[in-house]
Amino acid sequence: MAEVDNRTQLDWDALEVGETFDKFEYLLTQEMIDTYRKGVMDPEASFATIAHKVDVRQYNNKYTDAGSVNARCAFYCYNPPIAGKRLTVTAWIADKYLRRGKNYIVTEAVSVDEDGRLIDRVITHELKQPSEVGKKWGG
Amino acid sequence: MGRIIRGYAEGDEITPLVKEMTQEAINLFEGSAGNTGPSQFTDEHAAREVLGTEGTVASGRMSLTFAIEMLRRHFGAEVFNHTGTVDLRFLRPVRPGDTITFTGKVTGTSKEANGSRVLVAIEVKNQKGDTTGVGQGSAIVPTAFLPPED
């Protein structure tokens, strides 16, 4: 039996800047870190949290839309996460804007580990018309 | 903790970082976070459906990670992993098979309560010379790590 999708269809006009999502928790394992380091070809890469895209995870759990393209991303390093620690993420809608007729949503998230160490902050600007990539850059 | 003892001046160039993008690397990056289902990053059909492209693309967050690596190597992990920032705009897709080169140049410094913030302009180009990303990064270098002022 197919799962029911209870997510809300995004209404960009109605989306409120400041909307804060339910906190998201996950365990960062050594395996996650090792796989991330292989993927980015850097054995010393410290912020495996980047691949978890935690700033948009709760947005995607709540809303459904036509998809998105990452247009801009800012990352602030505070303390490298430690394998085996649970991380708690608080994410919210930081901004939205219309540019050249295209809709963007800005999400922001802060991660803290189970000991209260501040890990990182990420701010992402997502273009909500992903097919623009194919139109502009083609195959 | 190692000390850097290096002055930072406008125009100083950062050692470039070169990465060869592969589908395997993209799959590992996505898979490290448990994102194993088909997506525009891992599946050509999904990329065609969502983006309208012929093939997959790499997440911009991979370029973000590479920019972080370049600056971490320059400033040192002890400094960059606690004070570093990168803000990158993605101008063109990066695809499997691309070779992307990250370059950086110091654009200025400013005093902070806990050291000096060094600002770096970042540019990313592919093997064709097309710019795929631009942005800036920074790190706060503790005053104790810098040469004494006159």
Candidate from B51, B80, B89 with C-beta closest to A77: B80
Residue B40 domain-assigned (yes or no): no
* Residue ranges of chain B with per-residue pLDDT less than 50: none
pLDDT of residue B150: 66
Encoding tokens for residue A5? 């999708």
**Residue in A92, A111, A121, A50 with CA at minimum distance from that of residue B59:** A50
Q: First vs last Cα of chain A: how many Å apart? A: 36
* Residue ranges of chain A with per-residue pLDDT less than 50: none
Rounded Cα gap, residues B63 and A124, in angstroms: 13
In this prediction the ipTM stands at 0.93
A2: closest CA of chain B, how far (Å): 16
Write the DSSP symbol of residue A2: P
Compute and round to an integer the Cα radius of gyration of chain B: 18
Q: What is the pTM of this model?
A: 0.94
For residue A31, give the chain B residue with the closest CA.
B32
pLDDT of residue A133: 77
Residue B63: domain span: 13-21+58-145
Residue B104 domain-assigned (yes or no): yes
| Residues 6+ positions from A116 with CB-CB distance below 8 Å | none
To probe the interface with B, which of A30, A50, A64 has the most B CB atoms within 10 Å? A50
Cβ pair A51:B27 closer than 8 A: no
Residue B39 domain-assigned (yes or no): no
Q: A20 phi and psi, to 5 degrees? A: -110, 135
List CB contacts (< 8 A) between A53 and chain B: 33, 35, 59, 61
Can you count the helices (H) and strands (E) in chain B?
4, 5
Candidate from B29, B53, B83 with C-beta closest to A137: B53
- CATH assignment at residue B87: 3.10.129.10
Residue B62 domain-assigned (yes or no): yes
Q: Check: CB of residue B103 under 8 Å from CB of residue B15.
A: no
List CB contacts (< 8 A) between A69 and chain B: 51, 90
Q: Maximum Cα–Cα distance for chain A, whole Å? A: 47
List CB contacts (< 8 A) between A80 and chain B: 81
Ordered structural domains, chain A, with CATH: 18-137 (3.10.129.10)
Residue B150 domain-assigned (yes or no): no
Rounded Cα gap, residues A88 and B136, in angstroms: 28
Residue B49 domain-assigned (yes or no): no
Residue B92 domain-assigned (yes or no): yes
Cβ pair B50:A67 closer than 8 A: yes
Candidate from B48, B60, B68 with C-beta closest to A47: B68
Burial of B47 (0-12, 13-18, 19+ CB in 10 A): buried
Rounded Cα gap, residues A62 and A119, in angstroms: 24
pLDDT of residue B4: 62
pLDDT of residue A130: 81
Cβ pair B90:A70 closer than 8 A: yes
List CB contacts (< 8 A) between B82 and chain A: 77-79
**Residue in B81, B69, B45 with CA at minimum distance from that of residue A120:** B81
How many structural domains comprise chain B?
1
pLDDT of residue A67: 86
